[in-house]
Structure 1
């Protein structure tokens, strides 16, 4: 089964992270025949050189899409989806790392169950070097568990998913939202009857910076997430009780000190592991 890789690049991305990220997808055990990179507005010369250098080494694989201005993740991904020629598309972010068997494992799920529309996996989060794993974000495995979980929390780690382009476009693609484009997409795809699964194994390394907590403790981010969850209630996906629980937790995280946010995040939202190394 052939698949496309879809990534967006922004001017503030770091070249060294971008290179590792792209190569982790080009060196998969089941290799792609198409890697679509959408430049979300003008990027730096250093980032462009990373892309061009890899393009020379993997001739004919990379397709570059240049957007004249920064339009945001959702709109940029929609532009990339238009370019992807394969129906199965693997998402990837510009600073994370996919383990070498990620795509092979996900493609096997699609081959074993032709009804699947989204396949994701758990992730290991790391700080600094990829061997410095701090915790794991587990996600629900079966479709029934995913549907229930999605009423209050994201059931997928966005950059890990493989999905069917046709299904994403059938519901209008990503919405032009400043934040939580993926949250909104999962809700609409699930309501449209899409079948889903997560692989109960970490096949992905997510870069967790020390200032991530500060970036998330932001009123705009909090307000937009609450709005997305309120919309999920309005369209009948979740109950008012589900919305109230999200509202309470998000307001609590915003009001309380960062130390409390870290405690909630580590104690309830992540699973800590005894290992400090993951082999790629």
Structure 2
């Protein structure tokens, strides 16, 4: 129950979904957590739920000034930052030809530039202390193509490359940088219509586990990378996707469900 004892973590996009699940799990495992998000109502409610081990900080991941203020406040309130979870992200379902330049730049700015700025903000202190773990949330769509996700997939492929470069430049200085690649997860962002779990699962019948993922399942992978248990992992990609990148079933062929 103390896999993160003595560690301070910043979790961006921490007010709901995968971020909130990660905040809860980190606190449960002994960490002090900075919930960084633009969603103040949800963020403050989560901080109140988690008690003295968590604090909420209004934060815009696309702003260097916001990152600087966040670092000052977290270090003052909770201590030096040991872990950064670059979780904040936005999703856009549009074909490439229907995606405007403004749409494209907005998605890249949050999903990719936001993670770049996060690394820039926390890495100097981690390097000075000779230790730290940065976990970048990418996606299965950073490992394959997908229709309707031109901007989102571009940003998540970018996160994958950024993680590799940061791992090489920071690893020998004591800072481990890795990425987590969720598949479909039942969150407000991925399921904005709040369809039932049974309805959502209908879209996952052609993958191995035949269901959508849960935020807690992604949080568990993030916890492992944040903990000292992953001390020899840097530049790694952990896929949490129910088998989405393993392949899709050919219905009616041997080995498919029901055959």
Q: TM-score, normalised by structure 2?
A: 0.35
Work out which structure has the larger RCO, using CA pairs closer than 8 Å and 6 or more positions apart in sequence.
Answer: 1
Give the structure-1-normalised TM-score.
0.33
